[in-house]
Structure 1
Amino acid sequence: MDNADLLDQLRSLSARIQELVDRCQRLGDENRSLRSQQEQLVGERSQLLAKNEQARSRVEAMIARLKSLEQHT
C-alpha cells in the first residue's frame, strides 16, 4: 500500500468519524427533546387525573344530595 492509498483511507475514516459524531449530536438533541416532551406529558397527565378526581367527587356529592332530597320528599 502506498502513501496515497493510506491517505485516502485516512480521509475516508475521518469522514466516517465525523458522520458518527454528527449522528451522535442529532441523537442527543432528539433524546433531550423527547425527554422534555415526556416530562410535559407526565405533567399534563397528572393535571388531568386531578381534574378527573375533582369531577368524580363533585358528581358523587351531587348524587348524594339528590338521594338526600329524594328521601325527604
Structure 2
Amino acid sequence: MSGESPPDADALARLERRIEDLVAVCRRLQEDNANWRARHQALSAEYVRLNERTRVARSRVEEMIGRVAALTREER
C-alpha cells in the first residue's frame, strides 16, 4: 500500500453532496443563461421594430414639414 488511508464515509458523503450542489448550480446557471438569451433575442427584435417605427415616424414628420414649408412659400 501507499501508506495513505482510504477516505472515510463522512468525507465521501460530504464530497458527494458538494458535487450534487455544484451540478445543481450548473443546471440553474444553464437555465438562467437560456432565459437571458431568450430575453435578449426578444429585446433585440423589439429594438428593430421600434427603430423601424421611429424611421417611419421621422419620415412622416419630415414630409409634413416639407408640406408646411411649401404652403408657407405659396402664401407669400
TM over 0.5: yes
- The root-mean-square deviation of aligned C-alpha atoms, in Å, is 1.5
Q: Which runs of 5+ in 1 are unaligned?
A: none
4+ long deviations beyond 3 Å: none
Paired with 2:54 and 2:8, the residues of 1 have a C-alpha distance of 67
**Greater fraction of residues in helix:** 1
Instruction: Show the counterpart of 1:36.
Output: 38
CA deviation vs aligned residue, 1:1-37 (integer Å, no higher than 9, x gap): 877x611100110000000000000000000000000
TM-score, normalised to structure 2's length?
Answer: 0.88
Identity of aligned residues (%): 35
Paired with 1:10 and 1:43, the residues of 2 have a C-alpha distance of 49
Q: Which runs of 5+ in 2 are unaligned?
A: none
* Number of residues of Structure 1 aligned to a counterpart in Structure 2: 72
Instruction: Show the counterpart of 1:16.
Output: 18
Q: Read off the aligned partner of 2:26 and give its amino acid letter.
A: C
Q: Of the candidates 40, 52, 55, which is equivalent to residue 53 of structure 1?
A: 55
CA deviation vs aligned residue, 1:11-68 (integer Å, no higher than 9, x gap): 1100000000000000000000000000000110111111001000000000001111
Q: Of the candidates 56, 60, 65, which is equivalent to residue 63 of structure 1?
A: 65
